[in-house]
Amino acid sequence: MSILKGGVNNTTMQSLLLIRYGEIALKGKNRPFFEKRLLKNIKEALWGLEPFSVLFQRGRYFVKIAPQHSFAAIQKLQKVFGIVSISPVQAVQLEMEAICRQACLILQEQCTGPDITFKVETRRANKRFPHTSPEVNRIVGEMLLNSNPGVKVDVHNPHCTVNIEIRDKEAYLFCRSLPGPGGLPVGVTGPGLLLLSGGIDSPVAGWMALKRGIKIEALHFHSPPYTGEGAINKVLELSRILTGYGGKIALHLAPFAEIQQQLRLHCPEDLIITLMRRAMFRIAEKLAHQRGLGVIYTGESLGQVSSQTLENLTVINSVVTLPVLRPLIGFDKEEITARARQINTYTVSIRPFEDCCTLFVPPHPATRPKLHILEEAEQKIPLDELINRSLDNLETRIITGNPDGEDFLFQ
């Protein structure tokens, strides 16, 4: 890698970002697979900020990008799962004089005012470099003290930590590390199908699926004419927010009104919610098989509403054989809401639009329904036919997340 050769303050041309990853470093033989996927995801996340280059070098990624894009790039990278932290760095030649000069610039840029304290922290990945890490710390530290009267060393709680990474061809200096989201690179597990309503919970469940490396497609049930464009726009927008964390998403829109009407006409009122959810799961599983998706994700949380009692979850689950993951199962609503705010889905989720599940809600939904009674109720409607019709009329949109681009119809 040849960046900033022959100078210590040659920062005008390109900014350089150093990216660290965490959990994937533990993955043994799979490590190259994880690293390749993270590289791909980093490049995809930076789409729109061209020209840039991403290099992988011994456990680190380096992004070279135009300085005017560096802030936007950091913001995007802070959403790329697998990344643990990001530092804007300065690269200098592998010699002490250049390292000292850059360290001095960093200290002066970062800290102005009286009683400034600092420490130097060196990591020597390149063992051929003639000075050990403690020696570099000492040499640079002494130089900083001598050339900046008034500054002091504080190894416990300094104003500024000058970090130095000695690598094969260059040294990298930085004083700031911004957190990444952790987790696993999207695409290393899965893919899976997220049941996405317009509510607060399911986008958070989707985010948690992405965090564990699952590439997701989303399925939303809508009930025209009872639910309108507003509900769909909400789900489009939620999907678009999720693309910021996991790249493009196929969003499937399945019509559900006919099933709801049939259930209302022919089945006991207190079972309608459970029966609706069993129908949703059946459709979800069929779609998952068609699309090669190996898991269903939902935003259910134990006891949150009557359809999420243990008994209801059991009879809902019993219609599918695919694994159903409910990452929010043990979360309180407050915890889910806090996460929704953090990932920016909350304000969209609370927009007041009807979801199909809020239609025809009985005053007293059954909390402990019996499986054989549900099965009897389902005999009263042409369930298979209704499910197939919903799938036949399914519409898929690919959400690219590109603010300048249009979402387009897939089928």
Residues that bind ligand ATP (CB under 6 A): 195-197, 199-202, 219-221, 298-300, 305, 355-357
Binding partner at 62 among Mg ion, ligand ATP, none, C-beta below 5 to 8 Å by kind: none
Q: How far is the CB of 216 from ligand ATP (least distance, A)?
A: 12
Q: How far is the CB of 395 from ligand ATP (least distance, A)?
A: 14
Q: How far is the CB of 195 from ligand ATP (least distance, A)?
A: 3
Q: Phi-psi bin for 282: left (phi > 0), alpha (psi -120 to 50), beta? A: alpha
- 285 part of the interface to Mg ion, by CB under 5 A: no
Contacts of 156 (CB under 8 A, 6+ apart): none
Q: How far is the CB of 22 from Mg ion (least distance, A)?
A: 31
CA distance 282 to 324: 12
Give the residue from 313, 306, 310 showing the smallest Cα distance to 366. 306
Q: How far is the CB of 223 from ligand ATP (least distance, A)?
A: 8
Strand 296-297's sheet: what is its strand order? 324-325, 296-297, 184-195, 212-222, 249-255, 395-399, 408-409
| Residue 322 · residue 329 · CB < 8 Å | no
Cα 351 versus chain centre, distance: 22
- For 132, 151, 152, 161, 175, the CA distances from 121, given in Å and listed in that order, are 12, 17, 15, 7, 10
Residue 124 or residue 278: which is nearer to ligand ATP going by CB? 278
Chain residue whose CB lies nearest ligand ATP: 199
Binding partner at 355 among ligand ATP, Mg ion, none, C-beta below 5 to 8 Å by kind: ligand ATP
Q: How far is the CB of 256 from ligand ATP (least distance, A)?
A: 7
- 313 part of the interface to Mg ion, by CB under 5 A: no
**Span near Mg ion by CB under 5 A; candidates 122-130, 199-207, 343-351, 369-377:** 199-207
- One of 165, 201, 217, 285 touching Mg ion (CB under 5 A): 201
Binding partner at 213 among ligand ATP, Mg ion, none, C-beta below 5 to 8 Å by kind: none
Residue 33 or residue 360: which is nearer to ligand ATP going by CB? 360
Q: Phi-psi bin for 61: left (phi > 0), alpha (psi -120 to 50), beta? A: beta
Q: How far is the CB of 152 from ligand ATP (least distance, A)?
A: 53
Residue 197 or residue 390: which is nearer to ligand ATP going by CB? 197
What does the DSSP 8-state code read for residue 47? Answer: T
Residue 124 or residue 220: which is nearer to ligand ATP going by CB? 220
Residue 16 or residue 205: which is nearer to Mg ion going by CB? 205
Q: How many CA atoms lie within 13 A of 278 on its CB side?
A: 21
Q: Strand 60-65 relative to strand 52-57: parallel, antiparallel, unpaired?
A: antiparallel
Instruction: Summarize as ranges the residues that interact with Mg ion (CB under 5 A).
Output: 201
